Amino acid sequence: MQDMSAYALDGRTAIVTGSGSGIGRGTALEMANAGAHIVVAELQQDAADETAAMIRALGRRALVVATDVTSVESVENMVAAAVHEFGGVDILVNNVGGLGPKPKKTTITELEIDEWESLLRLNLTSQFICCKAFITLLLRSDRRGVIVNIASLAALVPYETSVVYGAAKAGVVSMTQTLAAEYGKRGVRVNCIAPGHVRTPIPEALYQGREELRAAQNRIIPVGRWCEPEELGRLAVFLASDASSYVTGQTIVASGGMTYFLTKVH
């Protein structure tokens, strides 16, 4: 029988930011399925506790830490709590992002500077803060480690009226490449996932009652449907595991083939 141990995360600890729902929860559960213990770094306490219960039901340990990833102090406290609980951390999944508490699409002429800066902090600066804290921890403890950043298809193709979101996610792709180049010889791998449409609570709410629009979206996706969070989670498991030990600095697009369509349209 073929040895599949390279795909496992047995005995490793993973921080998954924003793991109370959506992509974060799907990733946390898939990593737990693969053998990892999980730090649920999440501001929403009820959602975090729910994810933690699911992880424990899989026979893995879970630590819930209320974390504001836009705050240096909060992230550093979260990492310290993870080390205290598990003795170290092996994997960081930077998942937090979005269009803010009141999602809207805005042209550059309508976009205010405070909105620009707020969304950059949520989508790009937050990942910088988490990467810095995690890499600092690895270097101090002389450990190897893996970072999986979550960007967006918007980093690679134009999304009209989403200039700041696309710019921030493009920054995540660039940061991924730079950190991979800088820290590869120190045993740190850094990769990125760029999802297309994913069935998470925010877009589900936005498409509520708009079935014709959802159907139109499905028609332009070659596989004919949106992605499920656990599908991205399984990709993150691969990138975090030894099965991808020679992969770093890469951005993996998970769009159901939509990238090709968008490049042709634009």
Angle at alpha carbon of residue 250, lines to 134 and 142, rounded to 5°: 30
Q: Which residues contact 160 (CB under 8 A, 6 or more apart)?
A: 105
- The rounded distance, in Å, linking the Cα atoms of 197 and 194 is 10
Active site residue 207: no
- Cβ atoms of 43 and 69 within 8 Å: the answer is no
- Cβ atoms of 250 and 191 within 8 Å: the answer is yes
Kindly list the distances between the CA atom of residue 78 and the CA atoms of 35, 68, 89, 120, 234, in Å, as whole numbers in the listed order: 21, 9, 11, 22, 24
Please name every residue paired with 188 in a beta bridge, in sequence order, or none if there are none.
Answer: 145
Q: Which residues contact 109 (CB under 8 A, 6 or more apart)?
A: none
Name the helix (H) or strand (E) containing 222: none
- The rounded distance, in Å, linking the Cα atoms of 201 and 171 is 25
**List 165, 183, 246, 260, catalytic entry:** 165
**CB-based burial of residue 227 (10 Å sphere; 0-12 exposed, 13-18 middle, 19+ buried)?**
buried
Any idea which residues carry the catalytic annotation? 165
